[in-house]
């Protein structure tokens, strides 16, 4: 009788920069801190009037990627309150829509071992996107031939959030 050998558990991290229209996502092998894939996720529906279905479409795509790569941990950026600077975002409903997207993503916690939520100031402080991209440029250009400066900002932040989780800073 042949003895079953248990499959080695993989430590896979999905890092997400959410957005109401498109989002950036990266998947990592945590054991060797290698970036496995990065994606710019668009809603698969074209409705301009139903942001809930657009958001759900992006969630389903995240779940597909998570299943494909056997993701067991997720780190996702969540919005924080902006005082005066956030007036326009609050008035247009953008923050409420983004909170809905983040809530859908948070529901994935039932499918993983660990769900980490991080505010922008917790992982990048006051650094603008351009500075974050420049800090990571050499490492990702050399290892992955990935130009962090020219990359879509959502995808770049998705990678940077995972980099922060694995290496402790950007």
Q: Is 160 left (phi over 0), alpha (psi -120 to 50) or beta?
A: alpha
Rounded distance, CA 33 to CA 41, Å?
A: 22
Q: Is the pTM of this model over 0.85?
A: yes
- Domains of the chain plus CATH, in order, are 12-167 (3.30.420.10)
User: What local confidence, expressed as pLDDT, does residue 158 receive?
Assistant: 98
Whole-number average pLDDT of the chain: 89
Rounded distance, CA 66 to CA 70, Å?
A: 6
User: What local confidence, expressed as pLDDT, does residue 2 receive?
Assistant: 53
Any idea which of 42-56, 73-87, 142-156 has the lowest mean pLDDT?
Answer: 73-87
Judged against a pLDDT cut of 60, whether residue 50 lies above it is answered with: yes
Rounded distance, CA 24 to CA 106, Å?
A: 15
């Amino acid at each position: 009788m042949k003895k079953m050998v248990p499959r080695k558990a993989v430590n896979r991290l999905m890092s997400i920069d959410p957005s109401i229209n498109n989002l950036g996502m990266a998947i990592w092998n945590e054991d060797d801190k290698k970036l496995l894939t990065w994606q710019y996720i668009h809603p698969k529906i074209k409705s301009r009037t139903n942001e809930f279905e657009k958001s759900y479409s992006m969630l389903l795509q995240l779940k597909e990627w998570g299943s494909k790569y056997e993701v067991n941990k997720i780190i996702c950026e969540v919005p924080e309150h902006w005082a005066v600077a956030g007036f326009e975002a609050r008035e247009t409903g953008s923050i409420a829509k983004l909170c809905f997207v983040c809530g859908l993503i948070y529901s994935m916690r039932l499918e993983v071992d660990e769900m980490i939520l991080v505010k922008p100031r917790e992982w990048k402080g006051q650094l603008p996107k351009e500075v974050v991209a420049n800090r990571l440029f050499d490492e990702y250009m050399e290892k992955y031939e990935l130009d962090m400066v020219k990359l879509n900002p959502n995808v770049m932040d998705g990678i940077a959030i995972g980099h922060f989780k694995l290496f402790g800073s950007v």
